[in-house]
Amino acid sequence: MHKFQLRNAERRNRSQNLTSAAGRRGFTLTELLIVMAILVLLVSLIGPPLLGSKQKADINSVKTQIGMFQSALERYAVDMNKFPSTEEGLAALVMKPGADGTESSSLDSESSDDASADDGTSESGGSSWDGPYLKTDKLPSDPWGKAYSYEYPPTHNKINLPDIWSFGPDGQENTEDDIVSWSGKGEEGSERSASEGTNE
């Protein structure tokens, strides 16, 4: 009887070892396919809303950046008594116009530098350039990698403020997804753009 109990115990141990070995082998192909199908289903359900919220976040980022440009341009105008020209562009907010070796405007010619050396004002009557007016050393691009567009004198703004815009997610000019300063889209709460400017 003792031998019989030993054999039964050995059989039980072997069957337990086989069962635990089978448990350690991993998942079957069917189980893996089911898990993968569930993951694909979850990604297809959750992915599009996440991508949509990313695009909304990018658009809000552009609106905020345009608002920051507008504030910086107002500080520039106080110092220089004018907005940068279209040729000077937004670069005038981070680098003194003419400081890059290109032909400078009358504000930054040698004669105006001589005139401003005495009293700190330029020939146009404004104080000298006191930038940079942005917190960065170079102009930021929009979230889609394109440069912001700038125009002064404005062609779209009904008031005498520069036109600033991004081509938007599609990267194409003059399409419905352009994000512009003159229709109130440039800065949330920008009442003057919303109330006085219209999109042409």
Q: Where are the beta strands (DSSP E) in 126-194?
A: 149-151, 163-166, 179-180
pLDDT 10s digits, 12-36: 766 666 555 555 667 888 988 999 8
- Whether the per-residue pLDDT at 187 is higher than 80: the answer is no
| 142 in any annotated domain | yes
| 16 in any annotated domain | no
| 143 in any annotated domain | yes
> Could you tell me which residues come within 8 angstroms of residue 188 by beta carbon, excluding any fewer than 6 positions away?
60, 63, 64, 67
| 155 in any annotated domain | yes
> Could you tell me which residues come within 8 angstroms of residue 74 by beta carbon, excluding any fewer than 6 positions away?
none
Question: What average pLDDT does range 72-79 have in this prediction?
Answer: 91
Which pLDDT score is estimated for 199?
38
| 105 in any annotated domain | no
| 174 in any annotated domain | yes
In this structure, the strands spanning 179-180 and 149-151 are unpaired
Which pLDDT score is estimated for 108?
36
pLDDT 10s digits, 107-130: 333 333 443 443 444 444 445 888
- Whether the per-residue pLDDT at 81 is higher than 60: the answer is yes
Domain count, the chain: 1
Domain, as residue range, for 73: 50-94+131-196
Average pLDDT, the chain: 73
| 167 in any annotated domain | yes
Question: Which residue carries 């039964």 as its tokens?
Answer: 8
| 3-class SS of residue 113 | helix
Question: What average pLDDT does range 165-186 have in this prediction?
Answer: 81
pLDDT 10s digits, 139-167: 899 999 999 999 998 888 778 889 999 99
Which is more confidently placed, 124 or 59?
A: 59
> For the sheet containing 163-166, what is the strand order?
149-151, 163-166, 179-180
191 in Cβ contact with 112 (< 8 Å): no
- CATH for 59: 3.30.700.10
| 17 in any annotated domain | no
